Amino acid sequence: MAGLKTIAITMGDPGGVGPEIIVKAMFCAEIREYCNPVIIGSADVLEDAVRLTGLPLQIRSISGISDSRPEIGIIEALDIKSRSSFKKNVPSKNAGRAFVKYIKKSVELAMKKEVDAIVTAPISKESLKMAGHPWPGHTELLAELTDTNRFAMMFVSDKLKVILCTIHIPLKDVPKRINTKLVFETIVLAETGAKMLGMDKPHVAVAGLNPHAGESGIMGKEEMKSILPAVKKAQSAGLSVSGPYPPDVIFHKAYNGEFDIIVSMYHDQGLVPFKMLAFDTGVNVTVGLPIIRTSPDHGTAFDIAWKNMANPSSMLEAIKLASKLKL
């Protein structure tokens, strides 16, 4: 509708829950109050998802964003043809080839300002690898496509916001990656992300890497060598930041409103408590890109894909948040 943001929603891995959660999200009338959505993917697959859900929706293929004519009951799809079929409920080479095309097209549209934001349905890292692509996930692919060097994954829910220093690397490699430069840059990105959410002067809290935040070096020295110097540097730069805090304490404090956003040292340190609180409603935001990108915080869920069992709540929240964020 007039005055609303146009948001490109990529279909994700067609073998996963992406097509289903998109269709279910599009059936929610409130989405039209937030944005004009256009799906980037396969019209045929979306039609299969409509039949699966039994919802009274129709797919309309368009050749470009300028052809979009938002209408209740109609899902507009910028149809990206795929030469080969894919397998449902499992990762596959053909799926990996297809969803990379969806993502590239959505980024192209966003960089040209033809859309105001992109929302990405889940992809399979295994499908990426099977298709011969080098990226470990969405975030790294988006960074390369937008020529972005400094970026981070921020996870948003009502009660907890978390940003990650390291992302898709083995746990054994995390201590080697933690250094003052990385932690400082992530603190800066945390403030950037919080301001995208509308916070004027966010308080950033930094987690330690080790139990008890190292206990003055007794349980690890990363806090003393790398994390605390980064916090002090950020404080000197005028940022409202504190830490490092023991990881088993910091999330409770943030949940109770003491901090606005947590800088977490590694993937599971931040996402285990986050998903415990907001598995169905959490949203992933890539901070640092020149475009707005959000995503559901869950994966492809191959075990329940194409069974009409998927919950669209996180996709709904991702679309709503994309319509509100400001660079």
Structural domain boundaries, residue 241:
149-288
- pLDDT interval class at 137 (50, 70, 90): confident
223 and 201 in one domain? yes
pLDDT of residue 86: 84
Quote the pTM value.
Answer: 0.93
User: By CB neighbour count within 10 A (0-12 exposed, 13-18 middle, 19+ buried), where does 117 fall?
Assistant: buried
Task: Name residue 118's beta-bridge partners.
Answer: 8, 293
pLDDT of residue 285: 97
143 and 2 in one domain? yes
pLDDT of residue 85: 81
Is the pLDDT at 70 greater than 80? The verdict is yes
Average pLDDT on 163-173 reads 94
Average pLDDT on 260-280 reads 95
Is the pLDDT at 2 greater than 70? The verdict is no
pLDDT in tens, 146-157: 999 999 999 999
Is the pLDDT at 81 greater than 90? The verdict is no
Q: What distance in Å separates the CA atoms of residue 278 and residue 316, rounded to the nearest whole number?
A: 13
Q: What distance in Å separates the CA atoms of residue 127 and residue 133, rounded to the nearest whole number?
A: 9
Token pair belonging to 285 = 């935001």
297 and 190 in one domain? no
Q: What distance in Å separates the CA atoms of residue 1 and residue 42, rounded to the nearest whole number?
A: 23
Q: Which of 112, 93, 82 is nearest to 11 (CA)?
A: 82
Is the pLDDT at 203 greater than 80? The verdict is yes
139 and 265 in one domain? no
Tell me the Cα Rg of the chain: 20
Q: What distance in Å separates the CA atoms of residue 155 and residue 261, rounded to the nearest whole number?
A: 9
Q: What distance in Å separates the CA atoms of residue 301 and residue 222, rounded to the nearest whole number?
A: 35
Q: Which of 245, 289, 268 is nearest to 152 (CA)?
A: 289
pLDDT of residue 261: 98
Token pair belonging to 170 = 């083995």
For the chain, percent of residues with pLDDT exceeding 90: 89
9 and 144 in one domain? yes
Token pair belonging to 139 = 């975030």
Is the pLDDT at 67 greater than 90? The verdict is yes
Number of domains within the chain: 2
43 and 154 in one domain? no
CATH at residue 41: 3.40.718.10
pLDDT in tens, 230-248: 999 999 999 999 999 999 9
297 and 185 in one domain? no
249 and 198 in one domain? yes
Token pair belonging to 154 = 């921020």
101 and 10 in one domain? yes
| Cis? peptide before 244, omega within 30° of 0 | yes
15 and 31 in one domain? yes
Q: Which of 159, 147, 153, 127 is nearest to 258 (CA)?
A: 159
169 and 53 in one domain? no
Average pLDDT on 275-296 reads 95
pLDDT of residue 109: 98
79 and 17 in one domain? yes
| Cis? peptide before 296, omega within 30° of 0 | no
CA of 203: how far to CAs of 165, 192, 243, 251, in Å?
A: 17, 12, 11, 14
